[in-house]
């Protein structure tokens, strides 16, 4: 084949990718110049957690089993790549799903909000068992740590593990990194921190602010880094407690 004919064929099949810095097949690019690149992994391809799928922009959105970090979309679970296109919005939703229709295999990833249980604590950190990623329960044993400087966003040097978490507490945290095989977690956001705790008497404790929790039976209070979440049982507890306090106050007034 003549060289001119061969170069023409290559120009028709390949186009320069400014993101990767190398020529890529045209079938991986949109024909519309306004849109960016299609996922460079074919639909149905197995994906691992943390694997980059495509660029993240107004034309691509992370769906189930995927997440956005920086300017890219990554797989957060083990499964197969699936895409769903919405022509009117010029939007493609990228998802990772299992082939058998069951919930996807899930692994913790940087940026995910997880539920964990405190196993032990020292002055510098507490060690936790991660049980859920989002609302998905993990089948494997996954451990993480919350360092003292990641408990609060402000006044990190003044944070103390002993006055923030207790052994057995259920904590909501966000994964911010990985070190020595452990997931590094942070609870600096208002919505993160202790979600549930059990008192020494065996009762679920109720928040009495964002820094303390109280046993409804013994009235024992303990310092905690409380997650700012409103639960129905907390509202009911405080409503009943206010009624009881009012009755006690009225009774004292009548006696006086």
How confident is the model over 192-234, as pLDDT tens digits? Answer: 999 999 988 888 888 888 889 988 888 889 999 999 875 555 5
Instruction: Domain 113-236: give its CATH architecture.
Output: Beta Barrel (2.40)
Residue 145: per-residue pLDDT? 95
Q: Which residues of 194-233 are buried (b: 16+ CB within 10 A; e: fewer)?
A: bbbbebeeeeebbbbeeeebbbbeeeebbebbbbeeeeee
Chunked into runs of 10 residues, the chain (256 residues) has average pLDDT values of 42 51 47 48 79 83 84 83 83 81 70 92 93 84 91 82 92 90 90 91 87 88 86 59 69 70
Q: What angle do CA 31, 37, 41 make, to 5 degrees?
A: 115
Q: Which residues of 104-118 are buried (b: 16+ CB within 10 A; e: fewer)?
A: bbbbbbbebbbbbeb
pTM greater than 0.85 = no
| Domain limits, the chain | 1-31, 36-102, 113-236
Domains 36-102 and 113-236 share a fold: yes
Residue 254: per-residue pLDDT? 73
Residue 241: per-residue pLDDT? 66
CATH topology of domain 36-102: OB fold (Dihydrolipoamide Acetyltransferase, E2P) (2.40.50)
Residue 48: per-residue pLDDT? 81
């Amino acid at each position: 084949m003549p060289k001119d004919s061969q170069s023409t064929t290559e120009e028709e099949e390949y186009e320069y990718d400014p993101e990767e810095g190398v020529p890529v097949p045209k079938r991986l690019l949109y024909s519309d110049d306004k849109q960016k690149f299609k996922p460079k992994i074919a639909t149905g391809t197995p994906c691992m957690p943390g694997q980059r799928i495509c660029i993240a922009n107004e034309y691509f959105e992370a769906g189930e089993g995927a997440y956005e970090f920086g300017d890219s979309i990554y797989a957060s679970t083990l499964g197969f790549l699936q895409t769903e296109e919405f022509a009117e919005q010029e939007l493609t939703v990228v998802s990772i799903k299992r082939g058998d229709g069951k919930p996807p295999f899930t692994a913790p990833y940087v940026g995910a909000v997880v539920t964990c249980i405190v196993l032990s604590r020292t002055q510098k950190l507490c060690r936790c068992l991660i049980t859920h990623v989002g609302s998905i329960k993990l089948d494997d044993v996954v451990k993480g740590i919350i360092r003292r400087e990641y408990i609060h966003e402000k006044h990190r040097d003044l944070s103390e593990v002993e006055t923030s978490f207790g052994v057995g507490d259920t904590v909501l945290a966000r994964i911010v990194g990985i070190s020595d095989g452990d997931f590094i977690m942070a609870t600096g956001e208002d919505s993160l921190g202790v979600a549930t705790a059990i008192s020494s008497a065996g009762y679920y404790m109720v928040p009495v602010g964002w820094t303390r929790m109280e046993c409804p039976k013994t009235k024992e209070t303990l310092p905690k880094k409380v997650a700012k979440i409103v639960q129905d049982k907390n509202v009911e507890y405080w409503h009943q407690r206010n009624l009881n306090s009012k009755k006690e106050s009225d009774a004292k007034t009548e006696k006086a």
